[in-house]
Structure 1
Amino acid sequence: MAIPESIVWLSPAWRRQFAGHVESIVRLAVPVVATRTGILILVAVDIAMTGRAGELELAYLSIGIAPQILLLLIGIGMLFGTAVLVSQADGAGEPHLCGRIWRLAAIHALGMGVVFGGLCFGGEWFFNMVGQESGVARGGGDVIAMFGWGMPAIFLAVATWLFLEGIGRPIPGMVVIIGANLLNALLNWLFIYGNLGAPEMGATGAVLATTIVRWVMAAVLVGYVLIMPGHDRYGVRGTMRGTWARARVFQRIGVPFAIAQGIEASAFSAVILFAGYIGTASVGGYQIAQNLIALAFMCAIGVGTATGVKVGNAVGRGDQAGVRWAGWTGTFVVAVVMIFAGVLFLGAPETLVGIYSQDAAVIAAAVPTVMVAAGITVFDGAQGVLMSALRGAGDIWIPVLFHCIAFWGFMVPAAALFAFTWGFGTPGLMLGAWVGVLIASILLALRFHLISNRPVRRL
């Protein structure tokens, strides 16, 4: 007897197809998750080691990180066309175009790095302008200025990571980030605390270590791409002839994604500034909770990257059903993973916070905030994967509008309402974040349902 369409998911053929899509996404996602988690562990180690240098040093680092992350995410958004175009070209059987796209991305990366690095030197002025206490503004300004020296390197590294992931080779990036974390911990030990005759620089020393590590990562990744097996097939050593023909498409993809990243990051930066108005302990406490969410979100980024690549491959093949399968399977996988993260946040907040700080005031602010964050994880992961799926499909401007609505229209006002008007303090800021990611996940799910039922169109 035929299985009714309404319960087609019970059929062995459907289950085999579903399992195949889960396996392909997980196989690509695991090393990507490891790489993205490694990137964030660099920040987590900086925060944890700086926290042991004192509450003020942690506040300087937390304030300085926020606008740097905004610039970083805008730049990464500009470079996301690398993954989209590379995966579509590879799926269409045109690997020789992939190297051209990488070279184009590398030039954009270095140019943005110089511009954004220059902006970092206005940090103290910015913090004073938005009303931060003068000492915090000065310390945070020193931190973000040090970040500026590494901006070209991190963008070049990101462009190369995206290229490697787009051709299905994420493992070299994972190996590089493991080595980078070991080097970063050693350099932190030297420059934060002044060991072995190095200057004792506190928060600024942590960022000096990160800057050195970023340049090392960029050099190693570029070196690998130039000598990797199959480099001739992908045309990575070619000249710039013919490369600029793709620049307009690259920028047409990158600009809206950069705006989307900027909208989300600036909204979260605004919430960090709200924490600064509550007090230095609130800044540290909220930053710890936010960093834990970001660590969990690395799973979403890994699954999202794999999903976006699979969607892009399907677009390159002209496979509409493949687009749907990749997008919804990725959303299912990330939901399962993020449930476990939420349970961990809810069950062991004191243990998690204790990794970062032993300061009683910071712990008091962080623990209830982490417990609130437990409710965010699934929705945050879903919106991240759905955004990547839409990127892989080449959907450009509507997701940007949805991000603006969710994060500035809902999250920032809700955070202010919960924290100040209703008096929930630091946990109230996280409640506002929960509202934002919930709205974003709903809107993006509706959009992907619409896009995945249209005929595919390659960029």
Structure 2
Amino acid sequence: MTTPQKGMTPDYSPQPLYPNNRVKRHLSELFRLAVPVVIARIGMLIMSVVDTIIVGNYDSSGLAYLNVAHAPFISLLVTGVGLLTGIMIMTSHAVGRKNYLAAGHVWRACLPYAVLLGFGLGALAWNTNWLFEVSGQPAEITLHATDLGRILAIGMPAALIYTACSFFMEGLQRPLPGMIMMLLANVVNLFLDYGLVNGAFGMPELGASGAAWTSSIIRWLMAFAMLAYVLMLKNHALYGLRDGFSGWWGHSREARSLGYASGASQGMETAAFSAMQLFAGRLGIVAAASYGITMTILALMFMFAMGLASATSVRVGIAYGRRDRADMALAGWIGLVTTMVVMFCLSLPVYFFPGWVANLFSEDALVIAGTSGLLILMPIIFPTDGGQNAAINALRGTGEKWAPTMLHMFSYIFVMIPAGYYLAFVQGLGVSGLFWGIAIASLVAVSGLAIRFKIVSGRELPSYS
């Protein structure tokens, strides 16, 4: 067996049987992995917020065009990221069994897949004008949103190349490079965004198109930077990172299979929440604004859950890779409980000071009142929504594919949408009924996924062939 070189993350060997030590170790590793991922995920949101602020201050019409253009692009991007999740899982399995060449082989097999996927989804993002027409958008919005969507589409392959490299590094328990690159990208984004939108710093004045070009340029810069980082790792030979990509389609089969299930899960969840957004629109301008603000806050806090869930998947995957069932179960339960506790703590400020939080997003008294009434539900929604994400990632870490996806689909398609509609329109609860629907669905999801993890983690693990 090859000995890890300097810079390798330790803690891959079978662990001692002291429960307290194991819990401390898992908590320490969970937060060590999660914090950089959380910062990176929040960095992605901040870039979007900066786009909104700069374009919104330049031209309200341009902001409307950009928001419409982003809708299909983000849905496709989220699906693509889900389809690449298998990279992180398969890498962590290989690391768990100390097969470092196999870990590098996952990356070499899946990078061409990420490129292919990027250009395929980019082609779909390029041709979204039919979607704007079918959904009844005004001709002016359709025209400008189509142009902006095509600029964004140019960055799709880069976004997935970056994701493939970032997932590989996270599977190695080395998420720090992704965090650093995201922080640097935010600095560049602020400079380019302001310059290209407003024509500052000697740059052309492009308006909303400037923000779209900034997004694509930065995605390519991040892709090349992360690709170079992976190829130039000091211990690249240990992983065989420069051994070529021959036979990549066949070798990526297992990672692709895991990604199909994850991509379907994320795609269905995105579609379900899009339906809830349409319900909010039917309730009127104030309801739609309150819903949008509350969902923005929920999305921001959800980045913490995503970081912890990603770390949970890696920790479970490494234990699974070395066939340590007890440690795998412990990693999953610690990840789930920790995520729910953290999310509950994060909900407390918005619960106790809802008016103050709402006032940060709007000066409209009706919108503030409506948003405040929704924020008091967050101590229920934050922990359950975050918990279901941790649970599904724990299951992904064990190699589970379609069972978590089906549970996810049931919770958000067959529970959330009907419950939200019934409570909002039939029972007359309005926009609060939509969030009660989200709360019910999240509770069903976290319960079902936790039960499934208990079943899976109680089984004997298959031996290596």
Shift of 1:430: 3.0
Q: Determine the structure 2 residue equivalent to 1:79.
A: 84
State the number of aligned residues: 448
1:106-159, Cα deviation, whole Å (9 max, x unpaired): 211111111111212333421332344555555544443332111101111111
Verify the 8 A CA contact 1:55 1:281 in the aligned structure 2.
no
Q: Determine the structure 2 residue equivalent to 1:333.
A: 338
Are 2:115 and 1:110 aligned? Answer: yes
Determine helix, strand or coil for the equivalent of 2:128.
helix
Q: Determine the structure 1 residue equivalent to 2:411.
A: 406
TM-score (norm 2): 0.88
Q: Determine the structure 2 residue equivalent to 1:250.
A: 255
Cα distance in 1 for partners of 2:350, 2:141 equals: 29
Determine helix, strand or coil for the equivalent of 1:126.
helix
Are 2:464 and 1:442 aligned? Answer: no
Shift of 1:335: 1.3
Verify the 8 A CA contact 1:47 1:356 in the aligned structure 2.
no
Structure 1 unmatched runs, 5+: 1-11
Shift of 1:56: 4.9
Determine helix, strand or coil for the equivalent of 2:241.
coil
Verify the 8 A CA contact 1:338 1:377 in the aligned structure 2.
yes
Cα distance in 2 for partners of 1:198, 1:232 equals: 43
Are 2:163 and 1:158 aligned? Answer: yes
Alignment map for 1:4-403 (pairs within 5 Å): 13-53=18-58, 56-132=61-137, 135-138=140-143, 140-196=145-201, 198=203, 201-241=206-246, 243-278=248-283, 285-353=290-358, 355-356=360-361, 366-403=371-408
Q: Determine the structure 2 residue equivalent to 1:6.
A: none
Shift of 1:212: 1.5
Report the AA paired with residue 64 of structure 1.
A
Structure 2 unmatched runs, 5+: 1-16
Cα distance in 2 for partners of 1:61, 1:371 equals: 31
Are 2:453 and 1:451 aligned? Answer: no
Shift of 1:290: 2.1
Match of 2:420 among 410, 415, 424: 415
Determine helix, strand or coil for the equivalent of 1:168.
coil
Cα distance in 1 for partners of 2:405, 2:350 equals: 30
Verify the 8 A CA contact 2:112 2:245 in the aligned structure 1.
no
Shift of 1:13: 4.5
Shift of 1:373: 4.1
Cα distance in 1 for partners of 2:382, 2:419 equals: 18
Verify the 8 A CA contact 1:383 1:444 in the aligned structure 2.
yes
TM-score (norm 1): 0.89
Shift of 1:78: 1.1
Verify the 8 A CA contact 1:51 1:356 in the aligned structure 2.
no
Shift of 1:361: 7.3
Cα distance in 2 for partners of 1:420, 1:441 equals: 26
CA distance 1:119–1:189, shift in 2 (3 Å): same
CA distance 1:280–1:117, shift in 2 (3 Å): farther
Shift of 1:53: 4.5
Cα distance in 2 for partners of 1:45, 1:344 equals: 24
Shift of 1:444: 0.5
Shift of 1:458: 7.1
Q: Let me know the Cα RMSD of the aligned residues.
A: 2.7
Report the AA paired with residue 206 of structure 1.
A
Shift of 1:51: 4.2
Verify the 8 A CA contact 1:368 1:427 in the aligned structure 2.
yes
Verify the 8 A CA contact 1:87 1:313 in the aligned structure 2.
yes
Cα distance in 2 for partners of 1:411, 1:452 equals: 28
Verify the 8 A CA contact 2:113 2:249 in the aligned structure 1.
no
Cα distance in 1 for partners of 2:137, 2:365 equals: 23
